[in-house]
Structure 1
Amino acid sequence: MMKKIRLNSAGIDIGAKKLFVSIENQPVKSFETFTEDLEMLATYLISHGIKTVAMEATGVYWVILYDILMSHSIDVWLVDGRSTKQVPGRKTDVKDCQWIQQLHSYGLLNKCFIPDNLVQELRTYQRLREDHIRSSAMHIQHMQKALILMNIRLKEVISQIHGASGIRIIRAILSGERSAEKLASLCDSRILKTKKEWVMKSLKGHYNESCLFSLEQAVNCYDFYQQQITNCDIKLEQVLKKMHKDEFGQPKNNKARKPIRHHKPNIDNMGAHLMIIFKEIDATVLPGITDYNWMQLLAEIGADLKKWKSEKHFTSWLGLAPKQHNSGKRNRNYKSKGTPKAGLIFKQAAVGLLNSKHIALGAFGRKIRSKKGGLVAIKAVARKLAELYWKLFVKGLEYVENGIHKYQERMLLNKQRSVKRMARELGLEVI
């Protein structure tokens, strides 16, 4: 017989309009989702001596209820909806909350990771910033389309039309300038040194009113999202300062940081802020990690990695661990349920490492790619990188990049050992 380990427990099924609460030996009670009703729900739980509550992570509906229950000193377990799947039979909200309560009372549910308030605030601003970056990229495409419809082939000549040179030319076009020579003179001197004739040829277009209007709209929208990104950067810097307030003094930028190629936040001494938050442990010693994706990981994971017992727990939570779904002699296909955002950050770093000619992880990834394809290689490199990240902050790993040649020497040594072992098994001698 299974033994109940949480006697004073409740289960809550969360919906957009109603919440259903189940307490053992009590009829299921429903509440509206307004703030007043949520406070009544907390009072109802306290009046029945409830110490712990389990509820599914349903969209963002759980956030306010979670905060209210935590403010009343109730132990709240936010659980993955996949772990509370209804048993076969008819499914209703009433049965769901009863099933959640029963599973929780027997200790069969696992808690979701919930970061502290400052990390959640940082995450909100960071995710908003990424949304604005995606939106601005859409309007860059609109600019390209409007230029092509006027046969202005600027994007075939310069690398980015939204760079400094491209934006200057586009704004001049919108202000009425049509001379290809004058427009070309707005380019950077490095472009004019090698591509001046090509730039002038690309700027001889067939202008029309509708395309110019579309171009102006796209530029205005692009400028709007750039301003929104700047506002997010201000908020991100404020939260970083809050996270290390009264700790180790003010940040000092004494060390050169890794360059950030794309979408660099406008935050003064971002690396120094992160160093203080992580108590002078620098994650950028790891390959593929810059101050920007380090801050992204802070927003998704937080600074305390001891919440994961081992690197295997950590990579499994990130969705980077190998999946197992075997039954008897059959190895069944397993479809992934998605990767958390933190896992995607490690994957983005792994993509760059695959093309590296000097880093050992790049050689490891190319070896996997030659056998199992690019997607498996990216995931494998991301998993290695995540393990190093966990060990750096939990075990105090001192990472040193030995380069690709050391990796190749180690692989050759492993092959030699394998050959010698096979020779011994076959009664042969390696000369």
Structure 2
Amino acid sequence: MKIIHDHAAGIDIGSRRIFISVQGQEVVSFATFTRNFREALDYLLSHGVDTVAMEATGSYWFILYDILHAGGLDVWLVDGRQTKQVPGRKTDVKDCQWIQQLHSYGLLNRCFVAEGDQKEIRSYLRLREDLLRNAAMHVNHMQKALVEMNIRLPEVLSQIHGASGMAVIGAILSGERDPGVLLSLCHTRLRRTKSQEILAALEGFYTERGVFALRIAHEAYLFYMKQIAECDHKLEALLQKGGDGGKGTQSGPRKPIRHNRPDIRDLGAHLLDLFQGRDATILPGITDYTWMQIYSETGNDLERWATEKHFTSWLGLSPGQNSSGTSSRRVKRKGKPLTGQIFRVIAQGLLQSKKIAIGEFGRRLRARKGPMIAIKAMANKLAAQYWRLMVKGTTYVEQGVQTYETQLKKQKEKYLNRLALEFDMKLDKIH
């Protein structure tokens, strides 16, 4: 094999020390404090190193990557599965030497690393998702406290953290116990359609410990909602900064965001601005919020993936190649990319759709292969269409379930005609 990177180094990263291997030099180690990272940069530059490879180890690589990149080095972040050591030779020193050797021969593939505003948006969005999960936990705590006092709001309201539910809980915590007064705080539609059920549900058996637990959960929920609003403010500022202006004009109303809608003005216009007017929400199941999540993980330059198959493979939505001889086994992939999970969640929602063709495709596949394979196949189709839209500008027109079923009938008819020709037979339609 020929050496491709002449001045390459390999770094093995740990929680306490990093180990650096440079060709022709003894392995050296540095502590993981910022000052020591800068010393490591000076060491690499002093030995003429221009490219460095290191594994994506937890979150330890973040700051080291930024310092080396800012110092002018070409930093390659690589998947740990590509650098597996020979069994029986596993030490930190040998690991960094092995990484350096693989990198010098060009045997490693670079991982995608977000940069600039996209990196900031990704950080705030992931933090927002964590806060939403914490807030949901305290919604469950509020439900538990209400049920323990036999206040059956969860049975009569679709969500107790909606406007009506929060108004009733706030009044209870303020000392109100009259079911009629509490009912008056609910939405007009609820009072018109469910007044008797809500009155019965609000006739609880109040206890001091139950009210205390409700107050603690309510205050915690409001705290997390305030933190989510601050994340939305940061995201809006970054989106306003990242556009190039003029191409983000919204031609009509945007798809409604049903759950966890971010408080960002003209979110669709900002995203259209970032993608030069190409609108991902024409694809089924994708709203402005899910589009922003996809952008935060993949960026707006999808040409870094040569084809749609490269893109879906990176997402973990393509079948792996694990065959030997005549046998082929299914191997579960560890560490599924977050973007692939986003497409899976979208596909899971479309699986119940009665009007969208991809939903019918998923239901047919689910009947034969099971729900997991069906969802993955649907997510693969969505991701491929997303790549075509953003790279080639290929538009998407939803034809509906009826058109999809018509195409299936034509395929079956073509197959039957081919079989009839093979057996020297003729098909006649029954009128």
Shorter-chain TM band: over 0.9
Aligned to 2:160: 161
Match of 1:313, SS state, is helix
Give the drift of 1:338.
Answer: 3.0
**Paired residue for 1:309, among 306, 312, 321?**
306
| Map 1:378-417 → 2, pairs under 5 A | 378-417=375-414
TM-score by length of 1: 0.98
- Residues 9-28 of structure 1, C-alpha deviations (whole Å, 9 max, x = no match): 00000011101000111100
Structure 1, unaligned runs of 5 or more: none
Residue 247 of structure 2 contacts residue 272 of structure 2 at CA under 8 Å; is this kept in 1? no
Aligned to 1:257: 254
Match of 2:306, SS state, is coil
Give the drift of 1:91.
Answer: 1.1
Give the drift of 1:94.
Answer: 0.2
Residue 136 of structure 1 contacts residue 226 of structure 1 at CA under 8 Å; is this kept in 2? yes
What amino acid is aligned across from residue 160 of structure 1 in structure 2? Q
- CA–CA distance in structure 1, aligned partners of residues 134 and 297 of structure 2: 21
Aligned to 2:321: 324
Aligned to 2:128: 129
Aligned to 2:275: 278
Q: Give the number of aligned pairs.
A: 428
Give the drift of 1:158.
Answer: 1.0
What amino acid is aligned across from residue 416 of structure 2 in structure 1? V
Residue 319 of structure 1 contacts residue 338 of structure 1 at CA under 8 Å; is this kept in 2? no
Give the drift of 1:104.
Answer: 0.6
Structure 2, unaligned runs of 5 or more: none
**Paired residue for 1:347, among 344, 349, 357?**
344
| Map 1:215-294 → 2, pairs under 5 A | 215-244=214-243, 247-249=244-246, 252-294=249-291
Aligned to 1:70: 69
Give the drift of 1:254.
Answer: 4.3
- Residues 361-407 of structure 1, C-alpha deviations (whole Å, 9 max, x = no match): 11111111111111111111000000000000111101111111111
Give the drift of 1:333.
Answer: 2.9
Give the drift of 1:323.
Answer: 2.1
**Runs ≥4 residues deviating over 2 A:** 248-254
- CA–CA distance in structure 2, aligned partners of residues 403 and 293 of structure 1: 22
Match of 2:143, SS state, is helix
Residue 248 of structure 2 contacts residue 276 of structure 2 at CA under 8 Å; is this kept in 1? no
Give the drift of 1:332.
Answer: 1.8
- CA–CA distance in structure 1, aligned partners of residues 253 and 356 of structure 2: 20
Aligned to 1:113: 112
Percent identity for Structure 1 against Structure 2: 55
Give the drift of 1:248.
Answer: 2.7
Match of 1:112, SS state, is coil
Residue 142 of structure 2 contacts residue 217 of structure 2 at CA under 8 Å; is this kept in 1? yes
Residue 68 of structure 2 contacts residue 75 of structure 2 at CA under 8 Å; is this kept in 1? yes
Residue 252 of structure 1 contacts residue 269 of structure 1 at CA under 8 Å; is this kept in 2? no
TM-score by length of 2: 0.98
- CA–CA distance in structure 1, aligned partners of residues 246 and 37 of structure 2: 41
Give the drift of 1:37.
Answer: 1.1
Residue 153 of structure 1 contacts residue 202 of structure 1 at CA under 8 Å; is this kept in 2? yes
- Residues 167-204 of structure 1, C-alpha deviations (whole Å, 9 max, x = no match): 11111111111111111111111111111011011111
Alpha carbon RMSD of aligned pairs, Å?
1.1
- CA–CA distance in structure 1, aligned partners of residues 319 and 359 of structure 2: 19
State yes or no: 1:5 paired with 2:8.
no
Aligned to 1:79: 78
What amino acid is aligned across from residue 425 of structure 2 in structure 1? L
State yes or no: 1:186 paired with 2:181.
no
State yes or no: 1:360 paired with 2:364.
no
- CA–CA distance in structure 1, aligned partners of residues 133 and 354 of structure 2: 30
Distance 1:407 1:250, change over 3 A: closer
Give the drift of 1:252.
Answer: 4.2
Residue 353 of structure 2 contacts residue 359 of structure 2 at CA under 8 Å; is this kept in 1? yes
Give the drift of 1:213.
Answer: 0.4
Aligned to 2:197: 198
- Residues 43-79 of structure 1, C-alpha deviations (whole Å, 9 max, x = no match): 1111111111100001111111111111121111000
- Residues 201-250 of structure 1, C-alpha deviations (whole Å, 9 max, x = no match): 11111111011000000000000000001000000001111111xx2348
What amino acid is aligned across from residue 410 of structure 2 in structure 1? L
Aligned to 2:99: 100
